Amino acid sequence: MRKKNFKRLNLLLALIISFSIVLSPALNSNVQAKGKKEVKNVILLIPDGTGITHTTLARWYKGGSPLAMDEIASGLIRTYSSDAVIADSAPAGTAMATGFKSHTGFIGVLPDVANMPLVDAIPKGEERRPVATVLETAKLKGKATGLVATSEFPHATPASFASHYPKRSDYNTLSEQMVYNNVDVVLAGGYSELTPAKRKDKEDLIKVLKERGYGVVRNNEELSNFKGNKVWGLFAPSAMPYDKDRTENTPSMATMAAKAIDILSKDKDGFFLMVEGSKIDWASHANDPVGVITEVLAFDNAVKVALDFAKKDKNTVVIVAPDHSNGGMSIGDSGLDKTYDNEPLSTFLPPLKAAKLTGEGLESKINSEKTNIKEVMSYYYGVSDLTAEEEEAIKNAEPGKLNYTVGPIISKRAHIGWTTTGHTGEEVGLYVYHPKGDRLTGVVQNTDIAKYICEVLGTNLSETTKTLFLQADKAFKNKGALVTVDSIDKENLVLIVSKGETEIKFPQNKDIAIVNGKVVKMPGVTVYSGDKEKIDISKWYVSQNAVDLIK
């Protein structure tokens, strides 16, 4: 009987083993599929200048309830640049866009110096070389692309994803590249940057956009009614107003994010979208806690829009990644040195809750003679005890800088501390949602954001750089061509390549080549990253397609 049972047991085990061998490929493939990172879409949301205190204060302001981003908190980001502990927005944005740390003021190009820990040195001759962005890798893969910001569109962060130049203040260059880089959706401020009156090159880039099939909308109603697939929404001459100050005809961050997702998600190949809460940073520079809180909450509403879409779509990664912190803000100041551990919420919140506008929005309420300052501060901020010194400071505030005066006045009453009006160098929060749980976690570098985006989209930054940004002089000379530059007009430089009967002109910042007078479109823009006054032929970069035009 025991022998029979033993034989039966062996037979049963053999059947189980055989069955498991037959099934194992299927089981293994399920495991692989579950762990696969690649998705169709990525939404990267950047709350500029946002530290942990910024989000903590915003939570208390809304009653202590969680922010939308809280549920996807996953780690911390190290924000330093290639040669400094505290990062400027240009290299910080560039790091997240390209996977390379860079130098203050540099947009989408390598730095001159890389001497911080864990940063590779820059090979000689590669300084200021343009490097591809995650937006450009997505575009080459056939995906739709979009940028949303509350600053003017060529400001440091949005510019870092769609342009390349070592001078963040050169809006003429950055904005032209962004127009010719064929981003499908751009929603921000900065209408004047595209007009001949503002531009040194006198080009009408609004006309260029319309000729290229873009809708150009100027207000919330026009954005809502837009039905096409390519749009630039420009909702202010320069930066958009703070959310606390905006009217109904100016779209919120959440509205812009929702519209961008609606348009971009029509593309069957997927999309990449960057959304920046630009003016959290600006409020921090001004030490304006009302601006900080209301901008964080407006940004978080956009995060909710992105997460709601991603959870329903099940093929979208959402990343929330501040570029750096700002202001050294603290909940509690030196006035509470002896009582800090006994202070209730009522110590901090009433002066913040009383505000009906930010310091910037308040400026329009003060008359030209500045005789109504006490009345304005009482009505719009609930401040009935304004001192003579504070009144004088408001009276003497520079135009456009009132928030730098009002912010500290409110901070003092709310016991919000600040250490600086500049950026700070500590780590910032990282938040990631992946439909299959393959999240970026732990303490990571800002450059890891770009690398992770490429992992989940199945794209390659180095290969895209090789495709879009070859050193033109070297590449064309290897084909026996002569390379010169027409620099008569410093605002409209042209690279000229000639061989035999072929002459090709490559206008700086554009995606076109003019071959013996005939215009040919290129997959990327021609970049000159050198000095406009002293032309360096080695600093011109063109795509592989451009080089292939010379036979």
Q: Any alpha helices (H) in 37-155, and if so which ranges?
A: 52-61, 89-98, 134-140
Annotated catalytic residue within 81, 89, 102, 175:
89
- Termini Cα distance of the chain: 87
Token reading at 136: 């450009």
Contact predicate 69/431, CB 8 Å: yes
How far is the C-alpha of 13 from the C-alpha of 71, rounded, in Å? 46
For residue 543, the Cα-to-chain-centroid distance in whole angstroms is: 24
For residue 119, the Cα-to-chain-centroid distance in whole angstroms is: 22
At how many degrees (to 10) do helices 388-395 and 373-381 cross? 100
Contact predicate 473/537, CB 8 Å: yes
Contact predicate 96/319, CB 8 Å: no
DSSP letter string over 278-328? Answer: THHHHHHHTT-HHHHHHHHHHHHHHHHHHHHHHHHHSSEEEEE--S-EETT
CA angle at residue 464 from 462 to 466, to 5 degrees?
Answer: 70
- Is residue 529 flagged as an active site residue? no
Question: Which residue pairs from 361-366 have beta carbons closer than 8 angstroms and sit at least 24 positions apart in sequence?
Answer: 361/241, 361/242, 361/244, 361/245, 362/402, 362/403, 362/406, 363/399, 363/400, 363/402, 363/403, 366/394, 366/402
Token reading at 208: 């260029």
Beta pairing partners, 165: 107
At how many degrees (to 10) do helices 289-313 and 52-61 cross? 90
Catalytic machinery residues? 89
